[in-house]
Amino acid sequence: MDKTILEAIDAAAEIWSRAVFPVALTGAGISVASGIPDFRSPGGLWSRFDPMEVATDKALRRNPLGVWQFLLEAVQVFVRAVPNPAHEALAELERAGCLQAIITQNIDSLHQRAGSKRVVEFHGHCRSFYCNSCRAAGDVGRVAKLTRADIPWTCAHCGGVIRPEVVFFGEAIPEQAMQEAERLVARADLAIIVGTSGEVAPFSVFPYRIKAMGGRVIEINLGPTAYGRLSDVRIDAPAERVLPELARRILKPHAPAIS
């Protein structure tokens, strides 16, 4: 890594080491190295599916087949993905008491699979399924076996469409996740933004709130983002390279540098 990035990592490690209640805010960028292309990127799922046609509350009722053509691909991408060194570094920092929680927009469960315990899933997840009409639970064991011939997956009780526990466009953030996120943000004295460009509220507002209460902000993102000058330290490099380096500096501050 080049010198300015290493200097930024040193500065971030110093801020992080002094924080009492650090909270990570993560988005799609942290999972790209796990084989999950950002839905919004070229080649991502949104370049082939129109989110308004396949990921809205209305689409669930009007276009169950289109929704499931999309979900079948999305769920299989998540099943094949494995946590990368960025997820693992955050889990290690939590175990060492150096990270209080993760608030994530991701629905891929990779933080939990890496070993993180306190994860607030702002947009839900794909670990459970239910009927959009009668709320009956869908058998999650079926998901891995679903083929094109089985979709749309419908409810055995009422014929409604089965959906993942994911927040679709136009739907509210789950109440419990919202409350938990609010509690964490109110206590946090450091926001570590990873792989999220700050364009989707209310999630994008959290680091501003932490900063307004006297906290600090570290940003690990590739390329320019909507956060502009908010961050105390901005590291423009891939999270899977930056976070393990940061963890090493925070957990073993006297070890010699290897880069």
| Whole-Å CA distances, 37 to 13, 46, 106, 117, 193 | 28, 10, 12, 25, 19
Beta sheet of 162-166, edge-to-edge order: 137-138, 124-131, 162-166
Shortest Å, Cβ 135 to Zn ion:
7
Shortest Å, Cβ 10 to Zn ion:
55
The interface with Zn ion within residues 194-233 (CB under 5 A) comprises: none
Is 123 among the catalytic positions? yes
Residues 51, 169 contacting (CB under 8 angstroms): yes
Shortest Å, Cβ 225 to Zn ion:
41
Whole-number CA gyration radius for the chain: 19
The interface with Zn ion within residues 145-164 (CB under 5 A) comprises: 155, 157-158, 160
Which letter does DSSP use for residue 226 in this model? T
Helix (H, G, I), strand (E, B) or coil at 30: helix
Q: Does 86 bind Zn ion (CB under 5 A)?
A: no
The interface with Zn ion within residues 115-134 (CB under 5 A) comprises: 131, 133-134
Q: Which residue out of 123, 125, 157, 254 is catalytically annotated? A: 123
The interface with Zn ion within residues 31-60 (CB under 5 A) comprises: none
Total number of residues that touch Zn ion (CB under 5 A): 8
Residue 134 labeled ligand binder = yes
Residue 98 labeled ligand binder = no
Nearer to Zn ion, 154 or 231 (CB): 154
Nearer to Zn ion, 70 or 153 (CB): 153
CA distance 99 to 20: 9
Residue 220: strand pairing partners: 194, 235
Nearer to Zn ion, 134 or 213 (CB): 134
Nearer to Zn ion, 156 or 186 (CB): 156
Residues 245, 200, 103, 139: is their CA dihedral positive or negative? negative
Shortest Å, Cβ 59 to Zn ion:
17
CA distance 238 to 227: 17
Catalytic center residues: 123
What are the residues binding Zn ion (CB under 5 A)?
131, 133-134, 136, 155, 157-158, 160
